[in-house]
Structure formats: structure tokens, C-alpha cells
């Protein structure tokens, strides 16, 4: 697992946030549900790309359209594709881009593996924008590592780390780095956005 701290300048972070806010107007954040239990996650999601990741009472998986608006997902912003090209080392582009909204102070994401993509040879790249967060990760759920992801950090999971367990245990409020507010529509103050790009290959059958 690779961490690129301060990879994105503040002005570029704001540009990314603005591009996300434009997407959210037509593809609003919604609460995914925990399969089986049908309880809401402690964060909200929306997507871009050909495929959007989703979770509901029936299970985890990828869908073509926003489950509420029924609109096909929008194109992944070029600014994000550029970051994929620069940091992933892949010539093949992602076709799924998940936006996770973490509201301070209660949002979190339990330990999990990214394993719904069918082909694990492609890496997973995530970008942190907004408030900092405590990120836990490891090969197993025991003896986990812990690191703080500040705004502008990029995380790359590939190769041996592609199926590492990982999750967000806590948000850290940092007003000096918080640029979400009235000047950026649809993004709550003191929140964090995690942008995760992947390559999804549907089953052939």
C-alpha cells in the first residue's frame, strides 16, 4: 500500500470539490444499506463512471444507474482521470468512481476488502478531500496499521496490498484545512470526501 501525502495542492483540491458538487446536484448522495440487516451505513455515497458501487439489503455490487434518480452515472471528471494516470501506473482507465461523504463527527467505515471487481490485477486509488481521518489497514484484521489521511492525500492499493483490509475509524476536525462551506454547493462544512477509482469487469455469463 502506497501513501502520497500532500499530493494535491489546495487550489486543485478546491477544483476537485467543485467538480464533485456539480455531480451531486444531479446525482445526490444517498445512504447505502448493510446487506441482510438493511441498516444504513454511517456515511453517504454517489458515483461517476460507467459503473457505480452500491450496497443494499440484497448485497454489494455494481449498478449502471443512480438508485433514486434512475439516471445513468456521469463521466468521471478529467481532473480525477489525470490523477489516476499519474499515480496508478496503469494505462487502462477506471470505469467506476465512488464518492464517500463523511460528516463530522459521527461518520466512519468498518474494516473491509475491495473485492467486488472480479479482477484484482487493477489497483484501487483513493483521494482524500476535506477533514482528516484516521485510516486503519492491514493484511488481516489483526495487527492493523494506523495513519492519518489529510486533505490532498492519495492512497494506492495494488499488488500484494490490493486486498488489504481497510477502514475509517474517526474523523479529525481541522478548521484550517476545511474549505467546504457556502462557497461549495452540496458539500457540508466539516465533512470529508473520499474519492475511490476502480476498474470493474462484469461477469461474462
DSSP-derived secondary structure for 161-185: GTT-EEEEEEEE--GGG---STTST
pLDDT of residue 203: 79
- pTM recorded for the entire structure: 0.94
| C-alpha cell belonging to residue 70 | 434512475
Q: Minimum mean pLDDT among 67-76, 141-150, 175-184: which range?
A: 175-184
CB-based burial of residue 160 (10 Å sphere; 0-12 exposed, 13-18 middle, 19+ buried)?
A: exposed
Cβ proximity of 118 and 202 under 8 Å? yes
Compute the mean pLDDT over every residue in the chain, rounded to the nearest whole number: 92
Q: Please report, to the nearest 10 degrees, the dihedral formed by the alpha carbons of residues 95, 20, 18, 70 taken in order.
A: 110
81 pLDDT more than 90? yes
What are the backbone dihedrals phi and psi of residue 61, each rounded to the nearest 5 degrees, phi first? 170, -170
180 pLDDT more than 90? no
178 pLDDT more than 70? no
pLDDT of residue 36: 84
The predicted-structure confidence for 12-46, as pLDDT tens digits, reads as follows: 999 999 999 999 999 999 999 999 888 999 999 99
In the chain, domain spans: 2-198
**Phi-psi category of 152—alpha, beta or left, where left has phi over 0 and alpha has psi -120 to 50?**
left
Among 2.60.120.590, 3.30.710.10, 3.40.50.300, 3.30.1330.90, name the CATH number for the domain at 2-198.
2.60.120.590
3-state secondary structure of 197: strand
pLDDT of residue 185: 77
* DSSP conformational letter for 77: P
Amino acid at each position: 500500500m502506497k501513501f502520497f501525502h500532500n499530493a494535491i495542492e489546495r487550489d486543485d483540491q478546491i477544483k476537485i470539490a467543485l467538480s464533485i458538487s456539480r455531480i451531486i446536484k444531479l446525482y445526490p448522495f444517498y445512504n447505502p444499506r448493510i446487506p441482510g440487516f438493511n441498516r444504513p451505513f454511517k456515511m453517504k455515497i454517489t458515483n461517476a463512471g460507467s459503473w457505480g458501487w452500491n450496497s443494499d439489503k440484497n448485497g454489494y455490487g455494481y449498478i449502471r444507474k443512480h438508485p433514486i434518480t434512475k439516471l445513468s452515472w456521469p463521466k468521471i471528471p478529467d481532473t480525477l482521470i489525470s490523477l489516476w494516470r499519474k499515480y496508478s501506473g496503469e494505462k487502462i482507465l477506471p470505469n467506476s468512481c465512488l464518492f464517500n461523504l463523511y460528516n463530522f463527527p459521527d461518520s466512519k467505515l468498518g474494516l473491509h476488502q475491495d473485492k467486488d471487481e472480479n479482477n484484482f490485477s487493477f489497483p484501487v486509488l483513493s483521494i482524500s478531500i476535506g477533514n482528516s481521518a484516521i485510516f486503519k489497514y492491514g493484511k488481516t484484521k489483526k495487527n492493523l496499521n494506523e495513519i492519518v489521511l489529510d486533505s490532498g492525500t492519495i492512497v494506492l492499493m495494488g499488488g500484494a496490498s490490493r486486498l488489504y483490509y481497510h477502514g475509517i475509524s474517526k474523523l479529525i476536525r481541522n478548521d484550517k484545512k476545511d474549505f467546504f462551506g457556502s462557497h461549495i454547493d452540496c458539500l457540508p462544512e466539516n465533512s470529508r470526501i473520499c474519492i475511490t477509482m476502480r476498474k470493474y469487469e462484469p461477469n461474462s455469463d
